[in-house]
Amino acid sequence: MWKVLPLLALVACSDDGLHVVFNEPAVTITTPFDGQQFDEGEPVEFTGVVEDDTPYDELVVEWISSIDGILPDFDPPDPDGNVEVTTASLSEGVHVITLRAIDLDNQQGEAAVTIEILDVPDLPSVEVVHPANGEQGVEGFPFVFMAEVSDRQDPAESLVVSLSSDITGHICFMPVDGAGNAQCSSRLPIANYMLTFTVEDTEGNIATAQALYAVVSPDDFDFDGDGYSVNGGDCNDSNDTIYPGAPEICDGLDNDCSEITGIDVGSECYDDDGDGYCEAPPCINTDNTEIDCDDNNALINPYGEEVVNGRDDDCDGLIDDGTAVYDDDGDGYCESPPCVNAKGRGSDCDDDDWAINPGAREDCATDFDDNCDGLDNEQNAIGCNDFWYDNDGDTYGVRSSSQCWCRDGQWPYTGTDYNDCYDSNANANPGQTAYFSSHRGDGSYDFNCSGSEEREYTGTSSGCDWDVVYIACECDTAGWERAVPPCGGSGLWIEDCSATYDPVCYALCMLSSNPVNCLLTTCGATCDPEYDSYAQGCR
């Protein structure tokens, strides 16, 4: 590690020639920090570093206070230039502490730091420990008096502590340990005393503290600390559970010092309300071993009936459980809010199933009212399907409006398809295969929503042809007589041709020289078309 040393000298030019100029010492204060505070009388350590070309043991080093002047320091810097001084005699106030170094060339370097010395009390302090407030002594028994003392200037063991009273005067001196604990013991006669604890430091400063102290006879002293003495009616002053009016406990003793009350009667092991249970079994007057959580109410016991009353009737640790105001299934709702153990405001319609409550979402997979709104599988339930507006009930709806429902939807949202081209006629839908001779209601005959009107019959008939061999007429082509009528228009429809002949005549004509002429003229065979008046159907 490199250490940068101050430049030994500078060479300067002038009209008179060259001159050597020496640098002043470099000075740094390392402790204390600027702005630090110290108590009056507290030792303060000052440390610093000086650097110069002059040997360190020949430097003049001074620590100077702006209030107290030069601080005594007889040690020169060490070989590394470290300097230090410790003092506990700085005066109260704000000090500017200067570290100054002067070399052999009378060059001077300085550094400064500001600290504050705080005023501390001159008087010692004393605090009474024993007797504490209301504490008593017993006639003939020694009492240990105790106090805590301290001083900001002197060590605790150098303080002088004494005890006196307004009746007896001086009682004792109280030796002090290094922690400031002072104590002595003494027997005092029966009386009410004002005690005075006095502490004095090495400079003669004195502080005092006072305490009331009473000495009583043994029969007036409460030895067990239960608030009663023998003269106060305590029938056993060595047991703090026995005194006049004490509650009976399960110990087989007369706790309340009264012959009127039976031993342990009213205690936790006694059934006080007569319901057959006590608070701490085994019970004195019943054989039941379950714990009664309220032995002052016969309706409250391990087998009590829970009702809405804000109490734990059956002693299971729960209030009003199983009633309409208790959330039994843990879903946050009860049957009759406000609930004692939940914040839900809606009424739970099934408090035995956590999945059923006013905050649940309706589910199409169930067959009950999931959210307790009185409806089963209503709109937008979980698992619902889209149904389109189907005004004519043909299961085909329109794209412009839909709702999500379970199963078959709800009218008029029953359409499983949204391609209905005319939703005011149940016969008009994409699944239609039949033909209709009346328009669907808007003048159109497009019943199957194909986008065009398709006619049921589109051909015309060519009439009837004569069959010489069989002497019969056949309908060559069934169809309209002349032209195909428009959708809904009527026309003549040729169904077939009739044929009539005479079998006897037929036989004779066949034997004649001109059978054909015979048949046409003699047998009178005719073949006339049969017509039906029919309306053109479309879809």
pLDDT tens column, 487-501: 999 988 887 666 555
Q: Would you state the pLDDT for residue 3?
A: 33
pLDDT tens column, 216-260: 999 999 999 999 999 999 999 999 999 999 999 999 999 999 988
Q: Is the pLDDT of residue 265 over 70?
A: yes
Residues 337-362, mean pLDDT to the nearest whole number: 94
Confidence of residue 460 (pLDDT cuts 50, 70, 90): confident
Q: Would you state the pLDDT for residue 520?
A: 67
Backbone angles phi, psi at 515, to 5 degrees: -60, -40
Element (H, E) at 474: strand 472-475
Q: Would you state the pLDDT for residue 407?
A: 85
163 within some domain? yes
Contact 228, 244 (CB under 8 A): yes
Residues 191-205, mean pLDDT to the nearest whole number: 95
Count the Cβ atoms, other than its own, within 10 Å of residue 6. 13
Q: Would you state the pLDDT for residue 522?
A: 65
88 and 29 assigned to the same domain: yes
107 within some domain? yes
87 and 39 assigned to the same domain: yes
Q: Would you state the pLDDT for residue 5?
A: 36
pLDDT tens column, 138-180: 999 999 999 999 998 889 999 999 999 999 999 999 999 999 9
14 and 88 assigned to the same domain: yes
Q: Is the pLDDT of residue 4 over 60?
A: no
408 and 506 assigned to the same domain: no
Confidence of residue 526 (pLDDT cuts 50, 70, 90): low
| Domain finish residue from 220, 242, 257 | 220
Q: Is the pLDDT of residue 420 over 70?
A: yes
Q: Would you state the pLDDT for residue 137?
A: 96
21 and 90 assigned to the same domain: yes
100 and 173 assigned to the same domain: no
311 within some domain? no
Q: Would you state the pLDDT for residue 471?
A: 46
CATH of the domain at 147: 2.60.40.10
How many domains does the structure of the chain reveal?
A: 4
Percent of the chain topping pLDDT 70: 89
User: Mean pLDDT of all residues in the chain?
Assistant: 88
Q: Is the pLDDT of residue 435 over 90?
A: yes
| Domain finish residue from 118, 135, 167 | 118
Q: Would you state the pLDDT for residue 18?
A: 46
105 and 142 assigned to the same domain: no
Residues 530-536, mean pLDDT to the nearest whole number: 82
13 and 114 assigned to the same domain: yes
Q: Would you state the pLDDT for residue 257?
A: 94
> Which residue from 179, 178, 172 is spatially nearest to 195, judged by alpha carbons?
172
| Domain finish residue from 168, 190, 220 | 220
Residues 523-535, mean pLDDT to the nearest whole number: 70
Domain that holds residue 172: 125-220
Q: Tokens for 69?
A: 């002047």
The pTM (predicted TM-score) of the whole model is: 0.44
Q: Would you state the pLDDT for residue 517?
A: 77
How big is the CA angle at 121 (ends 116 and 125), to the nearest 5 degrees? 140
Count the Cβ atoms, other than its own, within 10 Å of residue 44. 20
Q: Would you state the pLDDT for residue 525?
A: 52
Q: Would you state the pLDDT for residue 10?
A: 45
Q: Would you state the pLDDT for residue 236?
A: 95
Sequence-ordered list of residues with C-beta below 8 angstroms from that of 350, at least 6 positions apart, any chain = 329, 356, 357, 368, 372
Backbone angles phi, psi at 218, to 5 degrees: -55, -35
pLDDT tens column, 396-406: 999 999 999 99
508 within some domain? yes
Sequence-ordered list of residues with C-beta below 8 angstroms from that of 460, at least 6 positions apart, any chain = 477, 479, 480, 481, 482, 483, 484
Residues 364-388, mean pLDDT to the nearest whole number: 92
Q: Is the pLDDT of residue 21 over 70?
A: no
Q: Would you state the pLDDT for residue 370?
A: 94
436 within some domain? yes
pLDDT tens column, 52-100: 988 988 899 999 999 999 998 778 899 999 999 999 999 999 999 999 9
450 and 509 assigned to the same domain: no
447 and 472 assigned to the same domain: no
